C-alpha cells in the first residue's frame, strides 16, 4: 500500500489516513500513517448495533486519539446502503473532520467495497461483463448496484471496480442478472476502503467533503409524483 504524494512527508504535518465503515451492525475503523505505510496500518471492528451513537468517538480514539486528528491528510467513509442512523453517523463525522481540516474525503458505497471479494463467485465470462450486487429488504423490496471490473493501468495490479449504477431500489418486476447477494465483512471492506483512500492520496486526487452524502435507497420520505 502506497500513500506517498508529490510533497515531502517530512515537511507535511498531515500524514494520517482514516477510513470509517458503519453500513451494518458493525463499525469498522482503519488508520494508516503515510510515513510508514508498510507497518503502520491498524484496523478494528466493533459490533455495536444500536450503540454506535454513544460509542463512535471512543472506538475511533482507540485507533486514533483525538489529539492526532489534526494530522489527518485524508479520510474515507462508506456511504451505504445500510442502516439509516449508522451510515449517517460516520458520514457526518467524516464530513465534519474533512471540513475542519480542509482535506479530501472519499465516499464509497458499501456494495462497491464488496465487489472484489464477491466477484470471485462469477464465471470468467460473467466477470468480463457488468453484474449486480443485490440485497433484499424485508417488506421493502430489493436494493441493487451495478458494477464492472476493468483492467488497471499498471501491469499486474488488481482490477478496478467501476460503479455503473449506485445502489438503489429496483422496480418490482426488474430481474437483476447476473447478481451476487450482498454479504457484510466489515473487517475486509474497511481495509479495502483504506486502500482506496491511500491510492487516491498518492495520486493527489482532491475530493470535496461536500460531494460525499449517504445513500438512502429506501427513503423514509415519500415524494408524490
Delineate the domains of the chain, giving CATH numbers in brackets: 16-109+184-211 (3.30.420.40), 112-181 (no CATH)
Instruction: Report the sign of the C-alpha dihedral through residues 119, 47, 215, 29, in that order.
Output: negative
Do residues 103 and 73 make contact, with C-beta atoms less than 8 angstroms apart? yes
Asked if the model's pLDDT at residue 220 lies above 90, the reply is no
Instruction: Report the sign of the C-alpha dihedral through residues 186, 191, 194, 199, in that order.
Output: negative
**pLDDT class for 2, splitting at 50, 70, 90?**
low
- pLDDT value at residue 221: 54
- pLDDT value at residue 224: 47
* CA distances to 75, 79, 105 from 217, in Å: 24, 11, 22
What pLDDT, in 10s, does the model give residues 80-138? 998 888 999 999 999 999 999 999 999 999 999 999 999 999 999 999 999 999 999 88
Across 4-18, 21-35, 123-137, least confident range: 4-18
User: In terms of Cα–Cα distance, which of 39, 23, 219 is closest to 108?
Assistant: 23
What pLDDT, in 10s, does the model give residues 142-156? 999 999 999 876 656
**56: burial class by Cβ within 10 Å (0-12, 13-18, 19+)?**
buried
Amino acid at each position: 500500500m502506497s500513500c506517498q504524494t508529490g510533497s515531502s512527508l517530512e515537511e507535511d504535518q498531515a500524514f494520517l489516513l482514516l477510513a470509517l465503515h458503519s453500513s451494518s451492525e458493525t463499525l469498522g475503523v482503519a488508520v494508516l500513517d503515510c510515513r510508514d505505510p508498510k507497518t503502520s496500518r491498524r484496523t478494528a471492528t466493533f459490533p455495536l448495533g444500536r450503540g454506535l451513537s454513544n460509542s463512535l468517538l471512543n472506538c475511533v480514539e482507540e485507533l486514533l486519539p483525538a489529539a492526532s486528528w489534526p494530522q489527518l491528510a485524508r479520510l474515507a467513509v462508506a456511504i451505504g446502503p445500510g442502516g439509516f442512523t449508522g451510515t449517517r453517523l460516520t458520514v457526518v463525522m467524516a464530513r465534519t473532520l474533512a471540513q475542519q481540516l480542509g482535506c479530501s474525503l472519499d465516499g464509497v458505497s458499501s456494495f462497491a467495497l464488496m465487489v472484489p471479494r464477491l466477484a470471485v463467485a462469477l464465471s470468467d465470462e460473467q466477470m468480463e461483463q457488468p453484474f449486480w450486487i443485490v440485497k433484499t429488504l424485508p417488506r421493502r423490496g430489493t436494493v441493487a448496484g451495478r458494477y464492472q471490473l476493468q483492467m488497471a493501468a499498471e501491469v499486474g495490479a488488481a482490477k478496478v471496480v467501476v460503479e455503473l449504477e449506485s445502489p438503489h431500489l429496483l422496480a418490482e418486476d426488474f430481474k437483476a442478472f447476473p447478481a451476487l447477494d450482498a454479504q457484510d465483512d466489515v473487517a475486509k471492506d474497511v481495509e479495502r476502503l483504506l486502500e482506496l483512500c491511500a491510492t487516491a492520496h498518492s495520486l493527489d486526487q482532491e475530493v470535496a467533503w461536500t460531494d460525499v452524502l449517504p445513500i438512502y435507497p429506501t427513503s423514509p420520505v415519500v415524494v408524490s409524483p
